[in-house]
Amino acid sequence: MQDDARIANIAWIAMPDHLHWLFSLHAGTLPEAVALLKGRSARAIGTRYGGAAPFWQAGYFDHALRHDEAVQRHARYLVENPLRAGLVSSPWEYPHWWCGWDPFA
């Protein structure tokens, strides 16, 4: 979706049972962005691994960052999820995350 300029990715992490996605919305609405993410990823996963069962649960939880909230702090919180969940001993060991900068710098 970033390729069509609707959003700018800031950070994301794919956990075993959920996804955290931090982005800036430039066009459209939040429900449209989430629907695009769910639709495109479900089709890609279905194509790669087969099957047509629903991949995503209905709905989502959102939190809009206000001007006084630090984007870097939220990005760090996202990528530290596997550490808090006991999946790794360092966030760098977990391969399924991305951030536009080093969130620990």
pLDDT for position 5 = 80
Q: Is residue 104 part of a domain?
A: no
Token pair of 38 as six digits = 């769910």
Please report, for the domain that includes residue 35, its CATH number.
3.30.70.1290
Residue 79 φ then ψ, to 5°: -75, -10
Sheet holding 97-99, edge to edge: 19-25, 7-14, 97-99
Asked whether residue 13 is assigned to any structural domain, the reply reads: yes
The predicted-structure confidence for 74-92, as pLDDT tens digits, reads as follows 999 999 999 999 999 999 9
Residue 97 has pLDDT above 80, yes or no: yes
Residue 105 lies in a domain: no
pLDDT at 76: 93
**Which ranges of the chain does DSSP label H, i.e. alpha helix?**
30-49, 71-79, 81-84
Provide φ and ψ at 46, rounded to 5°: -60, -40
| Domain encompassing residue 38 | 2-99
- Confidence at residue 17, expressed as pLDDT on a 0 to 100 scale: 87
Q: Is residue 49 part of a domain?
A: yes
* Number of structural domains in the chain: 1
Let me know if residue 50 belongs to a domain: yes
Whether 48 is in a domain gets the answer: yes
Q: Which residue has the higher pLDDT, 9 or 46?
A: 9
Average pLDDT on 10-19 reads 92
pLDDT 10s digits, 30-73: 999 998 888 888 888 888 887 766 778 888 888 888 776 788 88
Residue 58 domain-assigned (yes or no) = yes
